[in-house]
Amino acid sequence: MRIDVVSIFPDYLAALDLSLIGKAREDGLLDVAVHDLRDFTHDRHRTVDDTPYGGGAGMVMKAQPWSEALDHVVAQGHAAGLPGGRPHLVVPGPGGTPFTQALARQLADEPWLAFACGRYEGIDERVYEYAREDLGLEVSVISLGDYVLNGGEVAVLAMVEAVGRLIPGVIGNAESLVEESHEDGLLEYPIYTKPQQWKGREVPPVLLSGNHAAIAAWRHDQRLARTAARRPDLLHPSHGDADLDVRLAT
Ligand SMILES: Nc1nc2cc(Br)ccc2s1
């Protein structure tokens, strides 16, 4: 998979050189290119924003630098051997489609993603139109949650990690992707490691029993209890029932 990221703070994305994603890049499983939006300005001050038409607080990111940055991303992608393809443009934003594990799995199946990191009050709306109508890109505004950040960079780091780890070969043991929180609609079960007793606290005996069926059953029960306690909405999509009896997980 190829991933392009456009930002006015490219150093923010340095974390993509580290750990799992960094190794996936070294292994050729991921090709990541980060672009500085200011490289596509043409004035002495490398201006990327201006005041909003119609008034209002804050500043708006100008269309021209974004259009040239997206043109460059598409051209570079083709030069890098993504023939004819076009990236799926993902714009993190508080008003977007909720980012879920299911959406991460969908994005992980795509050959090319481009992330646009907004700042200030956001990006001139005509950039989205240009991307769709002139560049023929699929454009998705995606939200990490109902809160406001100062920019899209933090959201992109989270999305790239969530998507990147699902690419075959990135996680050494694919088995560890199973029974993770949200992978199958339930939260993960409690986990323990040595020592068997720690500060007077014992590991649940069933985990020492060697009885794999009993261990699996206990773990499933724990996942159900945790999900009921912390995320009843995952069990009861119409959740809001105040007297729902919620058992506390361990
Ligand atoms: N939750 C989120 N807040 C923001 C703010 C800006 Br500015 C850009 C992207 C995002 S995603």
pLDDT digits (tens, 9 = 90+) for 166-187: 999 999 776 677 767 888 899 9
Establish whether residue 118 lines the binding site of ligand 1, counting it when its CB lies within 6 angstroms of any ligand atom. Answer: yes
**Does 190 reside within a domain?**
yes
CA of 105 to the centre of ligand 1 (A): 22
CA of 242 to the centre of ligand 1 (A): 32
145 CA closest ligand 1 atom index: 1
123 and 186 in a single domain? The answer is no
| Closest C-alpha to 34, from 59, 60, 61, 8 | 8
231 and 194 in a single domain? The answer is yes
127 and 234 in a single domain? The answer is no
Identify residue 20 by its one-letter amino acid code.
L
The number of folded domains in the chain is 2
Lowest mean pLDDT among 83-92, 114-123, 129-138, 191-200: 83-92
- How far is Cα 83 from Cα 155, in angstroms, rounded to an integer? 28
pLDDT for residue 243 is more than 50: no
- How far is Cα 16 from Cα 207, in angstroms, rounded to an integer? 37
Q: Which residue, judged by its Cα, is nearest atom 10 of ligand 1? A: 93
**Does 135 reside within a domain?**
yes
142 and 189 in a single domain? The answer is no
pLDDT digits (tens, 9 = 90+) for 91-121: 999 999 999 999 999 999 999 999 999 999 9
43 and 88 in a single domain? The answer is yes
140 and 193 in a single domain? The answer is no
214 and 127 in a single domain? The answer is no
- The answer to whether the beta carbons of residues 131 and 90 sit under 8 Å apart is no
Establish whether residue 164 lines the binding site of ligand 1, counting it when its CB lies within 6 angstroms of any ligand atom. Answer: no
* Range of the structural domain that residue 125 is part of: 2-164
pLDDT digits (tens, 9 = 90+) for 18-60: 998 999 999 999 999 999 999 999 999 999 999 999 999 999 9
**Does 173 reside within a domain?**
no
- CA-angle at 205, arms to 203 and 210, nearest 5°: 110
What per-residue confidence (pLDDT) applies to 130? 98
Mean pLDDT of 10-20: 94
CATH number of the structural domain spanning residue 103: 3.40.1280.10
224 and 116 in a single domain? The answer is no
**Does 175 reside within a domain?**
no
**Does 174 reside within a domain?**
no
What per-residue confidence (pLDDT) applies to 99? 98
Q: pTM of this prediction?
A: 0.90
Q: How many CB atoms lie within 10 A of CB 228?
A: 20
CATH number of the structural domain spanning residue 235: 1.10.1270.20
**Does 171 reside within a domain?**
no
pLDDT tier at 238, thresholds 50, 70, 90 = low
What per-residue confidence (pLDDT) applies to 250? 36
What per-residue confidence (pLDDT) applies to 74? 96
pLDDT for residue 249 is more than 80: no
pLDDT for residue 208 is more than 70: yes
What per-residue confidence (pLDDT) applies to 179? 66
**Does 8 reside within a domain?**
yes
109 and 223 in a single domain? The answer is no
- Can you tell me the ipTM of this complex? 0.94
139 and 232 in a single domain? The answer is no
Establish whether residue 15 lines the binding site of ligand 1, counting it when its CB lies within 6 angstroms of any ligand atom. Answer: no
**Does 216 reside within a domain?**
yes
Please provide the average confidence, as pLDDT, over all residues in the chain: 92
Radius of gyration of the chain (CA): 22
Last residue of a domain, one of 132, 164, 196: 164
196 and 81 in a single domain? The answer is no
Q: Which residue, judged by its Cα, is nearest atom 11 of ligand 1? A: 93
What per-residue confidence (pLDDT) applies to 244? 41
Last residue of a domain, one of 114, 139, 164: 164
Establish whether residue 53 lines the binding site of ligand 1, counting it when its CB lies within 6 angstroms of any ligand atom. Answer: no
Lowest mean pLDDT among 22-26, 61-65, 121-125: 22-26
157 and 46 in a single domain? The answer is yes
